Amino acid sequence: MKIPETRHPAARILHPGSRKLFCYWEALRAERPCPTREEFDLGEVRTFAPDLVILERDHIRGSFRLRLAGSHVCDLFKTNLTGMDVLAGWDSFEADVIHKHLIQSLTSFQPTLFRSRLTTDNRQQVAVEAIALPIRMRGSERVQLIGGYFSFRPANELFHDRIVDQELLAIRSVWTEYQSLMAGAPATANADRRFKVIAGGRTV
């Protein structure tokens, strides 16, 4: 039996963790562009708290840095990622694509979703899905990105010492509808934006 296609934004999110995190973020923000960081209750997402990350824009380096990285994410990369450059380890084209989407998440309050393939020093490959969701600091115009970095294969099954390569497979903005902060301005339209497939991927 063919399952009817749905246009709900969560329908194209593959990993259950990414999907639950997105739905929780949507429920918190209601009709606003994004929720506040103080509203985000880690107890509500405790089952995948080790997969959470917080990204902050680094204006000096023109990049993003990891303000927080959960234990599962650090285990996957075999290092403490907190404070590190989000775009480190990507080639220049991939880093530019990711950077532009993350900037768009901050300015348009739309989540970014991407999938990539990691290669370990044992030549094992693992697919991951990452989502970045805008959150605002209460009483401030400052916006951060809270998200999840979800591996489709547990790190403890890989028996590796480090990640030697990462390849961006696809990236998209998850366009959602919200009430604009500007009086009289139209709400952002809810659109089904397809993944942008990254052509010319490197062969490992």
| Within a domain: 167 | yes
CB 84 within 8 A of CB 158: no
11-42 pLDDT, tens digit per residue, is: 789 999 999 999 999 999 988 999 999 999 98
Mean pLDDT, range 183-191, rounded to an integer = 41
Mean pLDDT, range 63-74, rounded to an integer = 96
Tell me the CATH number at 178. 3.30.450.20
| Within a domain: 4 | no
- Exposed/middle/buried for 28, CB within 10 Å: 0-12, 13-18, 19+? middle
Residue that is written with structure tokens 């500007």 in the block: 182
Helices (H), the chain: 16-29, 71-77, 92-108
64's torsion region: left (phi>0), alpha (psi -120 to 50) or beta?
A: beta
pLDDT of residue 133: 97
| Within a domain: 39 | yes
Top-confidence residue, 45 or 189: 45
110-158 pLDDT, tens digit per residue, is: 999 999 999 999 999 999 999 999 999 877 788 999 999 999 999 989 9
| Within a domain: 155 | yes
| Within a domain: 46 | yes
User: Which domain range does residue 133 map to?
Assistant: 9-197
Task: Count up the domains in the chain and report the number.
Answer: 1
Phi, psi of 10 (to 5 degrees): -70, -15
| Within a domain: 58 | yes
Residue that is written with structure tokens 């890989």 in the block: 158
User: Taking 70 as the threshold, does the pLDDT of residue 185 lie above it?
Assistant: no
Residue that is written with structure tokens 């959602």 in the block: 176
pLDDT of residue 174: 92
| Within a domain: 203 | no
| Within a domain: 169 | yes
The model's confidence at residue 183, banded by pLDDT at 50, 70 and 90, is: very low
Phi, psi of 197 (to 5 degrees): -80, 130
47-68 pLDDT, tens digit per residue, is: 999 999 999 999 988 999 999 9
Beta pairing class for 63-69 and 112-120: unpaired
First to last CA, the chain: 37
pLDDT of residue 177: 83
